[in-house]
Chains A and B, each alone.
Chain A
Amino acid sequence: MFLEAKQVVKKYANHLALNNVNLQVPENSIYGLLGPNGAGKTTLIRIINQITGPDSGEIIFNGRPLQSDDVHRIGYLPEERGLYKKMKVGEQALYLARMKGLSRHDALQKLKYWFEKFEIQPWWDKKVEELSKGMQQKIQFVVTVLHEPKLLIFDEPFSGFDPINANILKQEILRLKENGATILFSTHNMGSVEELCDHITLINQSQTILNGQIDDIRQSYKDNLIKLEFAGDGNIIKEKLTTDFHIDSISSINSHQVAYVKMQNNATVNQLIGNVINDVQILGLQEVLPTMNDIFIKVVEQSNLSKTQK
């Protein structure tokens, strides 16, 4: 494992922010850290960034306990992010790069590359306050990745980006992964989780309630729901699919109809087809996997319920 959190506990004055949280991030993966607001994600991220320390437990980075100069190997884009408004863009980028341990010379060279790549060289001598919010976000991204960290941590990276810039950001994140970086990212945008993440951990009320590979999780939460597209009489379908099947809905779309069928008692797709194939014309058939959004809501609600019952 590239990054591990072991039994991390963090108490604040009024509440327990993290209660024995474990995290295992494989090298060169994109790892989603999910959870409702106030679950403890930002606290865990801050512990990995050594902004605060855990009360107990430890962080293993690259096979050894986290050390203070590991901050040079981590790039962090916090949720609450900003720049000095009165400072010039170039000067500021240089300052932040050197704070990450780059020499002046290296920092200038790398900044030149990124500013050319994003076509933002004309901004170099502008004050940050003259730039739009989206432009500032671009600069923040450049500064985060500039020192070529092995681990990148993005907290709500897409908030404040317009769709075009969000897409550029997505492409860049995928490219960073290709180049060997490991990416930990925290977001409420489940669409981007499905698109980008290999693994996720879901934290709720200071505890891990779900983790694993995205595909496995979606498989394990599937309802055996089949989306059946056909042409013909919908009522016949209702008659034919009674035992072992339950029809959630039938609706007509253009010239054909779509039925969502839940299979029960280990019924198979073949049985389903066998039951209806003589009565309607099957146009398409597909197993429906739950979205991460559905899983998120379901799992969090269950965990909240069991907590209140206790």
Chain B
Amino acid sequence: MSKISLIIQREYLTRVRKKSFIVMTIIGPLLFAAMMVLPGWFASMEDTDAKKIAVVDHTGKYTNRISSTEYLKFSWLNDQEATTIADEYRDNGFEAYLVIENDLLEKPDAAKIYSDTQITIDVKEHISRSLEKHLENEKLNSYKIDGLDAIISDINDVNVKLKTIKLSEDGSEKESSTFLAMIAAIVFAMMVYMFVLVYGMQVMRGVMEEKTNRIVEVIISSVKPFQLMMGKIIGIALVAITQFMLWIILTLSIVAVLYSVFGGNVADSVDANQINMVNSMNEQAVDAEQMSDMAIEFNKVIDGALSLDLISSLFLFLLYFLGGYLLYASLFAALGAALDNEADSQQFVMPVMMPLILSIYVAMAAFRNPAGDLAFWFSMIPFTSPVVMMARIPFQPPVWQIALSLFILIASFVFTTWFAGRIYRTGILMYGKKVSYKELWKWFRFSGK
């Protein structure tokens, strides 16, 4: 077995056997699965007991104007019942009682709801919406327009649904879901960012460990420093890929198990819930009718994504993760070699991390305008391209842009690896020396044979 594969093996096995790796590998999918399933589960678990609410209407104008629903039942009380309601509403099985004291057109705050428990927003909105609708109709009627009903039903038929159609290269139209693309973009960008950062830092700590343990000189009397550095970087990359794969497999299997246990109910409510999430992000109010439409559409998109885009996206994710990781990991390795302890490392680690953090901000902008100049240029710059390009991938950027950015990324990590290798080689044998940027530059220049 060649020496570099021995090093890779050691780096890989010691990390994969660590408790923290095993714990993360199990907890990660549980969290992801929970994120996907729990909202739906909670929705299905919501208490379905109907709440009864008593209404005391002193004006007498609003009788039965608040419609009861499956979960909310309203009862109008007569005057006699009304006098004792404040004391007896609980005993009579009411959750709360609503008092309308005056004409709401004259005094909009004349309706009050009383309860010893917190009234939910849903209940409040249902009541005020019902009353508003009734009042609107009253006002409209007061104009005495001929054929009003026809006009209103005509108005209600107006409904614009904007469909986003992406024209693909071969001219065929493909329906794309902006919402799904946005979610995918956020997930991809965050994942690349997180993996590059977490595993890049692991490289730095690994190098530092070898240096502070003073084992490095023993090892580089057997192998070249560059082999040791690359062995470590590759070994840790394999750990990252293992974790990523395990996460995907475990998450999918947990979700699959939950679906089969809880059946289609959960599946439906999951869809609805995810759409809710998307919508609240867009701050759009969507009524129930549209929502069910979209749930169908959503399912269609998921089917499409699963069959085609997801696979190529995952493949690109791996490429960009590896490219970004290799670019940063070698720099982190050089830092680890230059620094004796983590306490001094901040002033050197920050400049390396800056572009990575910046790329997350640019990615946020890219969600909104994935084909804009900002997104384009930052998806070409190798230090930001892994995150920014992954944020653009779900919006299907031109293939030449992906190819170009990958090419620049690969060329750059070859360069940074060479650059970092020179600093690394000198740094690992320097003990107890305070480093400065000037010193690092010297190491780079004079790192001989």
Contact = CB atoms under 8 A, between A and B. Distances in A.
Query: Is chain B a partner of chain A in the same complex?
Result: yes
Interface of A: 11-13, 46, 49-55, 71, 74, 76, 78, 80-87, 95-96, 98-101, 140, 143
B445 A13 contact: yes
B166 interface: no
Contact of A13 (B217, B431, B446): B446
Given A76-B217, A76-B218, A85-B213, 6 more contacts: A13-B443, A78-B214, A81-B214, A81-B218, A82-B213, A82-B218
B10 A13 contact: no
A83 B221 contact: no
A78 B222 contact: no
A83 B215 contact: yes
B449 A52 contact: yes
Nearest to A10: B448
**What is the interface of chain B mostly: helix, strand, loop, or mixed?**
helix
A78 B221 contact: yes
Contacts of B442: 13
Interface in B398-449: 429, 431, 442-443, 445-446, 448-449
Contacts of A87: 14
6 contacts: A50-B221, A76-B218, A96-B219, A98-B1, A99-B223, A100-B222
B299 to A, nearest CB: 49
A85 B6 CA distance: 18
Contacts of A81: 214-215, 217-218
B220 interface: yes
A80 B6 contact: no
Contacts of A85: 209, 213
Which are the 5 A-B pairs with shortest beta-carbon distances? A53-B449, A82-B214, A99-B222, A78-B217, A82-B213
Contact of B221 (A12, A49, A53, A101): A49
A21 B3 CA distance: 32
Contacts of B448: 52-53, 55
Interface in B197-251: 209-210, 213-215, 217-223, 225
B207 to A, nearest CB: 13
Contact of B446 (A12, A71, A74, A84): A12
A305 B429 CA distance: 31
A53 B220 CA distance: 13
Nearest to B228: A99
Contacts of B222: 71, 96, 99-101
A41 B16 CA distance: 40
A18 to B, nearest CB: 13
Contact of A51 (B7, B214, B220): B220
A127 to B, nearest CB: 11
Instruction: Name which of B10, B209, B442 has the most chain A CB atoms within 10 A of its CB.
Output: B10
Given A12-B446, A13-B442, A96-B218, A51 B429 contact: yes
B220 A80 contact: no
Contact of B6 (A71, A84, A98): A98
Contacts of A51: 217, 220-221, 225, 429
Nearest to B6: A98
A76 B225 CA distance: 16
Contacts of A140: 218
Instruction: Name which of B14, B218, B221, B429 has the most chain A CB atoms within 10 A of its CB.
Output: B221
A13 B422 CA distance: 14
Contacts of A100: 222
Contacts of B431: 80
Nearest to B212: A82
A13 B426 CA distance: 11
Contacts of A99: 3, 6-7, 219, 222-223
Given A53-B448, A87-B14, A80 B219 contact: no
Contacts of A74: 221
A11 B209 CA distance: 28
Contacts of A46: 429
A96 B219 CA distance: 7
B363 to A, nearest CB: 36
A161 B427 CA distance: 28
A189 B225 CA distance: 31
A296 B447 CA distance: 33
B230 to A, nearest CB: 15
A71 B221 contact: yes
A54 B449 CA distance: 8
A96 B442 CA distance: 32
Contacts of A95: 6, 10
A151 to B, nearest CB: 12
Contacts of B449: 52-54
Nearest to B441: A13
B426 to A, nearest CB: 9
Interface in B11-64: 14
Nearest to B18: A86
Contacts of A54: 449
Nearest to B449: A53
Contacts of A76: 217-218, 221
A108 to B, nearest CB: 14
Nearest to A68: B224
Contacts of B213: 82-85
A232 B222 CA distance: 65
Contacts of A12: 446
A96 B222 CA distance: 9
Nearest to A55: B448
A99 B7 CA distance: 9
Given A53-B449, A98-B1, A98-B6, A84 B215 contact: yes
Nearest to B7: A99
B446 A80 contact: no
Nearest to A95: B10
Instruction: Name which of B3, B213, B219, B445 has the most chain A CB atoms within 10 A of its CB.
Output: B213
Contacts of A80: 214, 217, 431
Contacts of A13: 442-443, 445-446
A69 to B, nearest CB: 11
B30 to A, nearest CB: 27
A86 B215 contact: no
Given A53-B449, A98-B1, A82 B215 contact: yes
A20 B112 CA distance: 99
Contacts of A55: 448
A82 B449 CA distance: 25
A100 B1 CA distance: 12
Instruction: Name which of B6, B214, B223 has the most chain A CB atoms within 10 A of its CB.
Output: B214
